[in-house]
Amino acid sequence: MMRKLTGKIAVLTVMLIFTACSPTQVPAQMLINGAGATFPNPIYQKWFAEYAKVDPSVRFNYQSIGSGGGQKQILAGTVDFGASDGPMSDASLASAPGKILHIPTVAGADVVTYNLPDNPQLKFDGQTIADIFLGKITKWNDPRIAGQNPGVKLPDSDIVVVHRSDGSGTTYIWVDYLSGVSKEWESKVGRGTSVSWPTGLGGKGNEGVTGQVKQTPGAIGYVELVYAKQNKLPFADIKNAAGEYITPSIESITKALATAQIPDDFRFSMVNPPGQGAYPISGTTWLLVYETQKDAVKGKKLVEFLNWAITQGEGMASALDYAPLPDSVQQRVLERIKTIKY
């Protein structure tokens, strides 16, 4: 009797599982898949949520798996768009089955944060930061730091360098900047999402770097502006190419975008731009799409979204602490979106 009952229960369970797994009626809604950078994830999620109100017939699914993953997936064609904090290399682009366009969306900045007694407001120029991260300036009261910070009492203690241990777009912007201001950095270390650090401790993620800096007297590190602001970390003013010390802010990043040299394929670096008032350690993030879309309907929807994002969407950036593209760049990007064929 018992066994019969058990048998029946087993059969019922199996049936239940199958019913649960069988495809339910899918509403006639198109799904566009994307994957990539984590840094712009909050603004992208905001855009997708807002865009759902504009065009309810399309739904976006974005997975923030990292820039490397975004590049790999768009190359493999497993997603409809990719996203990356660093531009794709020539070799990667050449290996793609079609022409991939870089669509810049928003920009962010790295700030220099530190842990000193009473955390005075500090100022640095690029060469000094590069030498600190190269391990050539090792004391806080080094004349090159003191010279830029008259009136600040700097301790006679060791500088403890903290960097990101995980590969990240934040690191890319940081080493891109250091390569731009220091020949020695460029030849010894170079640019990349992970590099061989000459000195210091590695912290995982913004929270890891922040943790290390907060716990270690005399530490210096870099984190995203958004993260530094939200966590009320002290951050330094940085000397730009025009010779001014600039406080990182949405405005000073947008100024950097406005004066950066931007080539037609939009694979640009915006560190150390020449303009006045521009914060020098900033970078943009890109959406990656194929110029020739395979699926006509999907392609059309994607282009409609991109147009919306670059116009309406940009207005939502500042509220989430991202710098929007200036008008001049928006116009150029819209022109480029027009070239997408479907």
Binding site for other proteins (CB under 8 A): 65-69, 71-72, 86, 88-89, 91-92, 158, 160, 165-169, 189-197, 200-204, 207-208, 211-212, 214-216
Nearest-approach distance from CB 160 to other proteins, in angstroms: 6
Which residue number, 163 or 255, has a Cβ lying nearer to other proteins? 163
Which residue number, 202 or 277, has a Cβ lying nearer to other proteins? 202
Which residue number, 89 or 230, has a Cβ lying nearer to other proteins? 89
Which residue number, 136 or 298, has a Cβ lying nearer to other proteins? 136
Nearest-approach distance from CB 221 to other proteins, in angstroms: 12
For residues 166 and 39, is the Cβ–Cβ distance under 8 A?
no
Nearest-approach distance from CB 56 to other proteins, in angstroms: 32
Which residue number, 33 or 307, has a Cβ lying nearer to other proteins? 33
Nearest-approach distance from CB 249 to other proteins, in angstroms: 27
Nearest-approach distance from CB 39 to other proteins, in angstroms: 11
Which residue number, 195 or 309, has a Cβ lying nearer to other proteins? 195
Which residue number, 141 or 339, has a Cβ lying nearer to other proteins? 141
Nearest-approach distance from CB 280 to other proteins, in angstroms: 21
Nearest-approach distance from CB 38 to other proteins, in angstroms: 8
